[in-house]
Amino acid sequence: MKVKVIKRYRDKELKKILEVNHEFEVTNERGAVLIGAGVAEEVVVEQVQEEQKQEPVNEEPKQEPKKTTRGRGKSAKTAKAK
């Protein structure tokens, strides 16, 4: 289980002070104790990567820009120079 600190506290098992917004892994039993004490809340981990693998990605092939026939004659600079 992953928990997030919602109130600064001294963790007796880790022997250090944990600040608000710190996230870390604990056993289900330890998580229940921390949540019950009001110092942490459970972090729900979303399975985003698995959902992306299941959905087929429909990508259209990139099309080359059409080639124009313009510019094959005299350039504007050459026409003005004459």
Listed by start position, the domains of the chain span 2-45
Reported confidence tier of residue 32, pLDDT bands at 50, 70, 90: very high
Average pLDDT over residues 25-38: 96
Average pLDDT over residues 11-38: 95
Q: Name the residue type at position 3.
A: V
Output the pLDDT for position 45.
Answer: 76
Range with lowest mean pLDDT among 15-19, 30-34, 41-45, 51-55: 51-55
Choose among 67, 24, 65, 42: nearest CA to 11: 24
Report the percent of the chain where pLDDT is more than 90: 52
- Tokens at 70, concatenated: 């313009």
